[in-house]
Amino acid sequence: MADPIAEVAKKHPAPEGIVYAYGTAGFRTKAEVLDSVMARCGLIAALRSRALGGKSIGVMITASHNPPEDNGVKLVEPLGNMLAEEWEVLSTEMANKATPEDVSAFYREIAERFNIKLSTPAHVVIGRDTRASGARLLSCVLDGVKAAGAEPKDYGFLTTPQLHYMVRCLNTQDTSDAYGTPTEPGYYEKFSEAFKRALGGKKISGSLTVDCANGVGGPKLTELVKYLPPKDQGLEIFVVNDNVIKPESLNVECGADFVKTNQRAPPSSKSGPNDRCCSLDGDADRLVYYFKDSNNMFHLLDGDRIATLVASFLGDLVRHSGLSDILKLGVVQTAYANGAATNYVEQNLKLTVDCTPTGVKHLHHAAAKLDIGVYFEANGHGTVIFSAATLEAIAKHEPRSPAQKESLDVLKACIDLINQSVGDALSDMLLVEVVLAHKNWGPQEWLATYNDLPNRLLKVVVSDRNQFKTTDAERKLVKPDGIQKQIDAEVQKVRQGRSFARASGTEDAVRVYAEAATRAEADDLARKVAEIVKAAGSA
Ligand SMILES: CC(=O)N[C@H]1[C@@H](OP(=O)(O)O)O[C@H](CO)[C@@H](O)[C@@H]1O
Ligand SMILES: [Mg+2]
């Protein structure tokens, strides 16, 4: 009898000599070598669905902020979380099996290991960004899903957070935790309705220009705008860099990664002084704000700024609703957070800060331990999560005054406005607009909350980045021997100095971060630490 698993592996053979790894962002590399990986991810998604009793598992085809010729794939757990770590390992192993027979044998081995009955129904939900390679790679995923006898549901183009939303909605349908309607209109309705409620009659002043990185966020934002209140009562949005007809323009000279890395606006930007601008990345799960002041000077309001803004607002709402005795709010960052942001949260907002290793899953995990956990990476990935007990406490809280009720209503609306399944640039953007409207702030007032320490991020290519081993949430190197002492000695020489080096999880390089009291000191420190890394890496 024909073996459909071996057949599909034969149809999409693995290129020789490539070692694949399911990293922080799933599999991500040149699109031309991803066919076999996609088909096998279809198989793994089917197995994962069966291991969870037939729950829907998500497959997102995207390479986010990478260049247009790249692509990638990420699997999504039933509530919209990132794939369980154990299954990342299985995915990597599956992607690297050499022959169709090996693939088939491993498929059966996984089934046996997890007691999976291969005849049980399985559901796989698929979305993709606008890359030219997406259609071909989708057909590979579908081949895998079908070979495994699972039922695919293809949503076509979606932002990454929309796919996470669909997965969560499908798995919570008809339960008391139903997250929403698992359709695109369902997504727009849910978030636009929450936006209106969260504004609570407050006016938004000025317009917002949104750079969509020429990615999938463009058409989706255009759709969302149709559901928002008319511009005279709500928010005037200008959608720019939304050309998805030319996929080769994706992330080129625009988008959140361009703006954060280069610390400047996209060259095409035509915004005037103090105009609010923001940029999404290629799959719309990253958001950064920025503006030019009246002297034409560029100011970035990155993920740290969004975290501090949102934490301060939610903290106020909790207090004004009369809930501060029972609910504790905290902020989770990575070592890349600016020291001034950390200091502001601890000293001014009087909230706790946790530091985790890089990657959303680590931040999410730490935030899930808090009643209300605000987590953002400096580059703009992030969201706020509320524990089940917190949601219950908020739902049954009886306000003692009209003022308490007003704050409580806004807090409840914010919970609905914040995508609980994953960090979502569109939902985060609406949240920022709500907070600015309530505070009656423009970008200048937001910027004035604290002064960022000048900082520098460098990439150092070494012969084997895996020899760089860290501890203390990646802030200290334990390997190569003796290197941390040398870094510490350089840090001592500058004012307010902080620096660390770690192997990237997504690129073949070691990243060096440095900050200090002045631009010159930060640059100098980064350069010195990069030299230390380079020397140790070539030893
Ligand atoms: C300094 C930095 O921005 N690192 C990024 C980058 O990880 P690295 O492991 O540093 O390559 O890609 C990750 C996935 O998108 C993202 O979560 C993370 O914030
Ligand atoms: Mg992204």
Residues 6+ apart with CB under 8 A from 350: none
pLDDT for residue 511 is more than 80: yes
**% the chain with pLDDT above 70:** 100
Reported as a single tens digit per residue, the pLDDT across 18-72 is 999 998 889 999 999 999 999 999 999 999 999 999 999 999 999 999 999 999 9
Q: Is the CB of 507 under 6 A from ligand 1?
A: yes
User: In 114-159, which ranges are continuous DSSP H helix?
Assistant: 134-147
Q: What is the mean pLDDT of the chain?
A: 96
CATH 3.40.50.300 fits 455-537, yes or no: no
Distance 65 CA to ligand 2 centre (A): 6
Q: Is the CB of 70 under 6 A from ligand 1?
A: no
Class of domain 186-300 as given by CATH:
alpha beta
Q: Which residues are catalytic?
A: 64
Confidence of residue 393 (pLDDT cuts 50, 70, 90): very high
Distance 285 CA to ligand 2 centre (A): 5
Distance 174 CA to ligand 2 centre (A): 30
Ligand nearest to the CA of 459: 1
Q: Whose CA is nearest to atom 17 of ligand 1?
A: 359
Tell which residue, 95, 93, 50, 56, has the closest CA to residue 72.
Answer: 95
Q: Whose CA is nearest to atom 14 of ligand 1?
A: 25
Q: Is the CB of 379 under 6 A from ligand 1?
A: yes
Q: Whose CA is nearest to atom 15 of ligand 1?
A: 25
pLDDT for residue 313 is more than 70: yes
Q: Whose CA is nearest to atom 6 of ligand 1?
A: 506
Ligand nearest to the CA of 279: 2
Q: For 455-480, give the secondary structure using H, E and C.
A: EEEEEECCCCHHHCEEECCCCEEEEC
Mean of pLDDT values over 479-506: 96
**Exposed, middle or buried by CB within 10 Å (0-12, 13-18, 19+), for 219?**
middle
Q: Ligand 1, residue 379: give the atom nearest the CA.
A: 3
Residues 6+ apart with CB under 8 A from 531: none
pTM of the predicted structure, to 2 decimals: 0.96
Q: Whose CA is nearest to atom 18 of ligand 1?
A: 359
Q: Which two tokens stand for residue 181?
A: 């309607």
Q: Which two tokens stand for residue 343?
A: 């200091």
Domains 4-157 and 186-300 share a fold: yes
Class of domain 303-427 as given by CATH:
alpha beta
Where along the chain do its domains lie?
4-157, 186-300, 303-427, 455-537
> What CATH number was assigned to the domain covering residues 4-157?
3.40.120.10
Per-chain residues with Cβ under 5 A from ion ligand 2: 64, 281, 283, 285-286
Rounded to two decimals, the ipTM of the complex is: 0.98
